[in-house]
Amino acid sequence: MPLFDKKDKSRYATFTRRSLGLGGGMTMIFAILSGRLYQLQIRDGEEYKAEAEDNRVSERLIAPPRGRILDRFGVELANNRRNYRVMIVAEQAKDGVATALDTLSKVIQISDAQKKRITQTIAENKKFMPVPVAENLSWEEFSRINLHLPYLPGVQPDVGETRDYPYDLEMVHILGYVAAVSPEDLKGDDDPLLTQPGFRIGKRGIEKAFDREVRGEAGASRVEVNAYGRVIRELGHQDGVAGQDVWLTIDADVQKYAARRLGNESAACVVTDVATGDIIAMASTPGYDPNLFNVGITPDQWKGLTQHDHKPLLDKVMSGAYPPGSTFKTVVATAAIESGLADADYRVSCSGAITLGNHTFHCWQHRGHGSLDVEGGLKNSCDVFFYETARRLGIDKIQETALKLGLGAVTGIELPGEKSGLIPSREWKMRRYKQTWQQGDTVSVGIGQGYVTVTPLQLALQTSRIASGLNVSPRLVHMVGNQMRQRPTPAPLDISAEAFTKVRSGMNKVTNEPGGTAYAYRISEPGFEMAGKTGTAQVRAYTEGQNGGAITKNADLNWKLRDHGLFIAFAPVAQPKYACAVIVEHGSDGHPQCLMARDILLYTQKRDPLGKPTAYPLKAAANSVPAEDKKSGGI
């Protein structure tokens, strides 16, 4: 009898095949697993080890201290101060975030809008992450929080750093301010610091122009975290590189005096060194508090700034474009002398008006000034003299001289937002209006009206070039970090010394000879005398027969319809050191601009910021302003 029958043999064969298939499958699986283990542990082991380490160790950026902004003597204009703030950790708020915030609002003021923002921020982050509730708290508020801390679960007091501006109103248009990073700021800037919550960058002024230098370089903290991202311990710490300090040519003392002297007027003032172009003071009023943007400006505060008729957000010094009025007569006089038109025998007779075609152009002095030479024309600010002189010169020569004196183009100052103003030409009018240039256009330009516009900064530059005869350019930044900002020594302008001498003489007569239009506002102290030129710029068209408000006085008009008052000057007359330009919007009545320029130039000379060594000791200079001039220039 056979050991196995045919039926059993068939079953055995089926079993064997299944065993072999199962064994082969398991062998293949083990081969795949072995290959995968080889890949994970040997071939790609280092890569996965690094990824695992990254999951365990997190590197977090540390914002560096922002560099300071200093004046020419080392006075801090922008620095960093302690930021007392309070945070909340959602997972530690036992009764919920809403309850914790309600309890905290009994200790410090928290608005409903703040609560909404905090709740939204918590929802977007891990529950264990601290979220800011309020920053820049007073010491009293910070102390109250610490006192009640046992009853405030989830609340964490914290001390950080924030930007501070000691000269808030006086310096805001120079320094600008810092604020939170916007989506637009991230475009074209790959600095990882910009993605840090709460990080702030420069938005205006020097803060914006030198943000990269002042920002510094980020530090890093290496921390061990668990699977949920919670910090277990710090493994390493590397401080960031502090931002570089920026040294300005500004004298904080003169700047403070100038801003307060302008008071609450809508006005601008520039004081420069005529030999180098260094800006000693550059004030625009009214100002505003830049710290508002750092801590978070409210809608009502923003509305107050944007809707105020004095435009506190506008830097009138370099972004305000105005008709120069009679201050432009110094340009026409220079062009007339340089071209040979106003020679020793040149005179114009003023009877009070001239007629060109069917239009009559009036002089501000209805009785007329009689026969005048170029210096007499400047002294008396005779409109007819400059109407006729401009007509004979033509717009081409006037434009050429104006451009040489720094008008009609940006000056290159190290601040964003500068306007170029406008010195019109034949080509410009054809391009802009598709019309040919007319003699009437030239006559209007001759007294600084018509199409011509300038900025107060350009007026100061023009005055500096007339006073020194040099091709100076304005400079605001002296040094960044330890690197001096070098520039070539100014060369003489391509204008004759004779032209400058006569124009300076005419400006001297304006202020220092009886009958001069600014004689009443002269500096009478010997050695400090100034030479200047008055100006009135119309902001509305006069009807036939009106001139300079002869029929309707400025004081009887709405403020916005009154003429602007301008004044340019340099001092001392014998050896010019400083130039000054002042404009008071809609403020020609009473000539406040002349009084302001007189006081500011006298103050600058007596302090003499050019005479003091700029060795940059890091000590604050004295900041004193006469009691009678202590006015607020802000909103």
Mean pLDDT of 206-235: 75
Range of 17-21, 53-57, 245-249, 296-300 with top mean pLDDT: 245-249
Cβ–Cβ contacts within 10 Å for residue 435, how many? 9
pLDDT value at 632 more than 50: no
Query: Any idea what the Cα angle at residue 317 is, between residues 162 and 384, rounded to 5°?
Result: 170
CA dist 184 and 192 (Å) reads 15
- Encode pLDDT of 150-176 as tens digits: 888 888 888 878 899 999 899 999 999
pLDDT value at 547 more than 50: no
Task: Indicate the SS3 state at residue 353.
Answer: strand
Q: What percent of the chain has pLDDT over 90?
A: 55
Number of H helices, E strands in the chain: 22, 21
Q: Which residue, chain included where needed, has tokens 């006298």? A: 602
Shortest CA distance to 149 belongs to which of 86, 98, 83? 86
Q: How much is the pLDDT for 320?
A: 95
pLDDT value at 538 more than 90: no
Note if 182 is an active site residue: no
Is the entire prediction scored with pTM above 0.95?
no
Cβ–Cβ contacts within 10 Å for residue 286, how many? 23
Query: Which listed residue (266, 319, 326, 468) is catalytic?
Result: 326
- Encode pLDDT of 104-139 as tens digits: 888 898 888 888 888 888 887 777 677 888 888 888
More confident residue, 429 or 155: 429
Question: What CATH architecture is 252-300+315-629?
Answer: 3-Layer(aba) Sandwich (3.40)
Q: How much is the pLDDT for 590?
A: 77
Q: How much is the pLDDT for 235?
A: 67
Query: How is the beta sheet containing 267-273 ordered, strand by strand?
Result: 279-285, 267-273, 578-584, 564-571, 531-537
User: Which of these ranges, 215-229, 296-310, 346-360, has the smallest mean pLDDT?
Assistant: 215-229
Query: Any idea what the Cα angle at residue 367 is, between residues 365 and 368, rounded to 5°?
Result: 65
Domain 60-248 annotated CATH 2.40.40.20? no
- Encode pLDDT of 185-213 as tens digits: 888 788 888 877 678 899 999 999 999 99
- Encode pLDDT of 364-382 as tens digits: 999 999 999 999 999 999 9
H-run or E-run covering 89: strand 76-89
CB within 8 Å of 472: residues ≥ 6 apart: 272, 274, 275, 276, 277, 461, 464, 465, 490
Task: Indicate the SS3 state at residue 169.
Answer: helix
Is residue 533 exposed (0-12), middle (13-18) or buried (19+ Cβ within 10 Å)?
buried
User: Which of these ranges, 282-296, 385-399, 573-587, has the smallest mean pLDDT?
Assistant: 282-296
CA dist 499 and 338 (Å) reads 6
CA dist 564 and 584 (Å) reads 6
More confident residue, 384 or 107: 384
Confidence of residue 48 (pLDDT cuts 50, 70, 90): low
Q: How much is the pLDDT for 100?
A: 87
CB burial readout 172-211, b (16+ within 10 A) else e: bbbbbbbbebeeebeeeeebebeeeeebbbbbbbbbbbbb
CA dist 166 and 68 (Å) reads 12
Name the token pair of 477: 């930044």
- Encode pLDDT of 447-505 as tens digits: 999 999 999 999 999 999 999 999 999 999 999 998 888 888 999 999 999 999 999 99
CA dist 147 and 137 (Å) reads 15
Q: How much is the pLDDT for 621?
A: 36
- Domain extents for the chain? 60-248, 252-300+315-629
CA dist 287 and 172 (Å) reads 7
Mean pLDDT of 242-266: 95
* DSSP output for 492-531: BPSS-HHHHHHHHHHHHHHHHSTT-TTGGG---STT---E
Confidence of residue 285 (pLDDT cuts 50, 70, 90): very high
